[in-house]
Structure 1
Amino acid sequence: MRRVRLRRARPRHSLVLATIAAAVVASPFAVVMTGAEPRPTDRHRPVPTTAIDQIGLAQAPAAMLDLAESGLAAAGVRLPEIDPDAALRMGERAVGAAVQHLVRDKPLKMVAFTWERPLDVSMLLRAKQADGAWGNWQKLDPVDSGRPASPEHPMGTEPIWVGDAREVQVAVTDNGLAIPAAEPAGGGLAELVIGSAGSLAKTLATTALSALKATLISPEGLLSLGSSMLTPLLGGPSVVARAQWGADESIRCSSPAYSPTMRGAIVHHTAGSNDYTPQQSIEIVRGIYAYHARSLNWCDIGYNVLVDKYGQIFEGAFGGLDRNVEGTHTGGFNKSTVGVSMIGNLDEVAPTTPMVSSVARFLRWRLGKAGVNPAGPAQLTAEPFSDSKFPAGAVTSLPAISGHRDYNSTTCPGQHGYAALTPIRAMVGGTAAPAPESPAPESPAPPPPAQPPAA
């Protein structure tokens, strides 16, 4: 979840608020990963652009929620003390927590929040489900670049997959304290009561909300996930390569960096939703790529590999899966490690058997190629990073297959994901074999791809 060796920043271009609807032709080259050198192969076909809209959070309408009824209290949110005289002037209007309400007339798909100046807040998000009920509040974990937020190096939260939801609400808090709001007597938008709640609420309302941008990421579906999408790795499992999941290489703005050796693996989770179909996995990967490369200016997706709950393995960062590509996944420890991220929130649910087996199958191949003993330690030298558990220059000796939380101050890969490291290590070491590789889940044949507009 938190990651970060920043690549060369790409020039910042203003993001258009309207969704980019036109399909464009992506770079006609993909990378074949089974050789010693990544080599381009022709892949002429149109790929729809992943649209990214940004809206200032302060521009979104505010709603007032009762702490208990909305579930915010159970999520640890509370209100600051209210000035009694001000409360009296509000009469019988209830006072609750102010949240920002985002509504679209089409599926939101993926939501994140970014900021370009230093900001210390926490955020919770929930989405309205198809039956009209609101889902549970999810904590939005920040991704940390290890440097202050700026226009050149914005910071943001992990993107949350909300799928077909068209409404979300976000609560912005300071250590659990929310902005208080009152319900207008005649109805309408919630009225913030910051004047009666001290400086904290005023700072949240005037500073935090004005700095935060809702980043709406709309990856398009691309292809069915049939067996034709899979690329076999020499001596290893089959993967969905960048070409097959539709990586637009034109938005990748730097060449990969390579470590001289590979010493270990670091396991993550994406911290998003666990509710996705096999076909939506490809949209999630495309959305994360666009967000990392464009919104956060990382130039590429941060993980080396992503694995979904159906056991599908997706190639992540460009440069060849059999080479020591330095990802952007674990601050201070991106060198000499491979970052594998399990798609979902593994604080909420345990990883599925296909997911665990595929992680183990990939790591058995990758660590085997590098000559790494999966039962031994990985000795790594820490580089500077603000959320590292180790000072710069320290030499660590942790298991060759470790979790993100072993190196950085984070809960990643979630309590259930971390518990899964034990069976993963056993499978990689051969004391328990991963389940046999099964065909990718079937899906309906995709419609013909959209053609680019005529010149």
Structure 2
Amino acid sequence: MRVFLSSSIGVACAAALVLPLSVPSGAVAAPQDTGAGTSVPGSTESLPLVPFGSERSSGVATEQGLPQRDVQPFSLVGVVWDDADAELHGSVQVRNRSAGTGAWSGWQDLETHNAEHGADLGTSERDSGTVRGSTAPLWVGASDGVEARVRADEDPDGGPARASLPGGLSLELVDPGEAPEQLPVTETDASRGQAIAADPDPAETDEGAEDGAAPETGDSVATDPDDGTDANGDDGTVTETDDGTVTDTGVAARPHTAPRPKIISRKGWGANEKLREKQFGYTKTVKAAFVHHSATGNNYTCKQAPSVIRGIYRYHVTSSGWRDIGYNFAVDKCGNIYEGRAGGVTKPVMGAHTLGFNTNTTGIAVLGSYSSTSPPAAVTTAVAKLSAWKLGLHGINPRGKVTLTSGGSNKYKKGQKVAMNAVSGHRDGFVTDCPGNKLYSKLGSVRVSAAKYQGRS
């Protein structure tokens, strides 16, 4: 597994809220957790959890937490622990006090994750010594009080003992800072009554590609003709399956591309470039897109989406110890698309989104939780457009199959070659609920739509 690093020069100086077709690179400082002297302030307050109870026979703490207390303002919360290889087998719950009303919420669950997101084993990011275990973060909105509890699971064998909790548990309270200027809304936000923007026809050129510039490929990206890449052309006879995929018969096909969708840049969502590592990490190509839900909850408006992303970014870097936000792209519930990990949206940037399958893939996170809530049509449309464009840059049919090599996960051993849908869900590469049953069930139609955006029948 190889990651290609390239120095950055001037990303923080990008002037437009919507990315141009070529993305300038930029030099930034080393990661730090401070908002001082930056145009977009923010902070993280780390509160060590204290023991609430222990297993009598061993004295090992089986419940930790924090009693109700006043805290610095925050909007996003998560729990981290020292050892990234340790798994948290138990429940994690928080309550927050609204800064606006003073009312306390009920108990809210945080998804434990247990390494399902993150850099692949053996990569420089994973072996940096800074990576910590972490739950999914939860967006709770402006808050100034918190209460937390973490309780270990019962012994799976039915004994009286409980599982031990990981060491160094800490509650992370993230203030994403002030939001940048109002960003466009492309679909109704029912809770706020925002207006609907008409969805352009798939054949029309999107605003983000109006100047017709050729996609940037980057000199630092290597190609490997033996890496199992399958162009999946479908000009010949194909076999269609129920999940929206097709099997290629091997007939050579002409390249298919799709219009580039509008992508809100890191500057547009207010990324503080001083937080992330100054170098960019690249893989060789992009053969597949993994779709995720962020599991941060659906209690946000689309105007707040940039703040949610800034919160996730800060949590991934400052609390979890990653080099940058883990996802390559994010999509809010109004269908707005955002640049994720830095390095250039046209380039094969190495993400930290699907443990074992970050190589030669891109990660798309839908902001929210979609285990029991259906994603709006604007979400699936945006994911289809983004997948069509990004995969099209590398000659990949969104309805096709590709071969990926596992870097090691709880589903596929390291080195195992796996046939995957070109548009897959996180659970296809790792035993997890992500991207939630409701979103996962829409991926078949996403593949079909994405292929049509590429001009395929």
Match of 1:135 among 95, 100, 106: 106
Aligned counterparts, 1:28-427, within 5 A: 28-30=12-14, 34-35=20-21, 38-40=24-26, 46-58=38-50, 100-104=66-70, 107-117=73-83, 118=86, 120-128=88-96, 132=103, 134-135=105-106, 137-142=108-113, 144=115, 145=118, 152-176=130-154, 200=162, 211-227=168-184, 232-233=208-209, 235-383=259-407, 385-387=408-410, 389-427=411-449
> Which residue type is aligned with residue 350 of structure 1?
S
8 A Cα contact 1:379 1:395, kept in partner: yes
> Which residue type is aligned with residue 164 of structure 1?
A
Do the aligned partners of residues 428 and 99 (structure 1) sit closer, same or farther apart at CA in structure 2, a change above 3 Å counting? same
Do the aligned partners of residues 80 and 286 (structure 1) sit closer, same or farther apart at CA in structure 2, a change above 3 Å counting? same
CA drift at 1:106: 5.8
CA drift at 1:109: 0.6
TM-score, normalising length: structure 2: 0.68
CA drift at 1:301: 0.6
> Whole-Å Cα distance in 2 between the matches of residues 430 and 284 of structure 1?
31
CA shift digits 1:352-394 (9 cap, x unpaired): 11111111111121112221111110211111x343x111111
> Whole-Å Cα distance in 2 between the matches of residues 150 and 299 of structure 1?
9
> Whole-Å Cα distance in 2 between the matches of residues 382 and 288 of structure 1?
26
8 A Cα contact 2:292 2:364, kept in partner: yes
8 A Cα contact 2:21 2:208, kept in partner: no
> How many correspondences in the alignment?
354
CA shift digits 1:279-301 (9 cap, x unpaired): 21111100111111222221111
> Which residue type is aligned with residue 90 of structure 2?
S
> Whole-Å Cα distance in 2 between the matches of residues 243 and 98 of structure 1?
38
> Which residue type is aligned with residue 75 of structure 2?
K
> Whole-Å Cα distance in 2 between the matches of residues 242 and 360 of structure 1?
21
| Structure with greater helix percent | 1
Counterpart for residue 93 of structure 1: none
TM-score, normalising length: structure 1: 0.68
CA shift digits 1:298-348 (9 cap, x unpaired): 111110000011111110011111111111111111111110000001113
> Whole-Å Cα distance in 1 between the matches of residues 329 and 392 of structure 2?
16
Aligned counterparts, 1:425-444, within 5 A: 425-430=447-452
CA shift digits 1:247-276 (9 cap, x unpaired): 111222142222322211100010111010
> Whole-Å Cα distance in 2 between the matches of residues 104 and 162 of structure 1?
15
Do the aligned partners of residues 424 and 29 (structure 1) sit closer, same or farther apart at CA in structure 2, a change above 3 Å counting? same
CA drift at 1:238: 1.1
CA drift at 1:52: 0.6
The runs of 5 or more residues in structure 1 that have no matched partner are 9-25, 65-78, 83-96, 178-196, 434-455
> Which residue type is aligned with residue 52 of structure 1?
T
> Which residue type is aligned with residue 116 of structure 1?
D
CA shift digits 1:99-147 (9 cap, x unpaired): 6334336643111111114453323324357674643532422352577
Do the aligned partners of residues 105 and 250 (structure 1) sit closer, same or farther apart at CA in structure 2, a change above 3 Å counting? closer
CA drift at 1:150: 10
Any idea what SS the aligned residue of 1:398 has? strand
> Which residue type is aligned with residue 175 of structure 2?
S
CA shift digits 1:229-260 (9 cap, x unpaired): 99824631112100111111122214222232
CA drift at 1:422: 1.8
Do the aligned partners of residues 386 and 296 (structure 1) sit closer, same or farther apart at CA in structure 2, a change above 3 Å counting? same
CA drift at 1:176: 4.9
> Which residue type is aligned with residue 101 of structure 1?
P
Tell me which structure has the larger Cα radius of gyration. Answer: 1
Any idea what SS the aligned residue of 2:172 has? strand
CA shift digits 1:42-91 (9 cap, x unpaired): 9xx952332011011118xx6x9xxxxxxxxxxxxxx9999xxxxxxxxx
> Whole-Å Cα distance in 2 between the matches of residues 228 and 140 of structure 1?
29
Do the aligned partners of residues 237 and 342 (structure 1) sit closer, same or farther apart at CA in structure 2, a change above 3 Å counting? same
> Whole-Å Cα distance in 1 between the matches of residues 15 and 390 of structure 2?
17
Do the aligned partners of residues 100 and 198 (structure 1) sit closer, same or farther apart at CA in structure 2, a change above 3 Å counting? farther
Counterpart for residue 228 of structure 2: none
> Whole-Å Cα distance in 2 between the matches of residues 38 and 309 of structure 1?
28
> Whole-Å Cα distance in 1 between the matches of residues 93 and 268 of structure 2?
31
> Whole-Å Cα distance in 1 between the matches of residues 454 and 391 of structure 2?
16
RMSD value, Cα: 3.8
**Identity of paired residues, percent?**
28
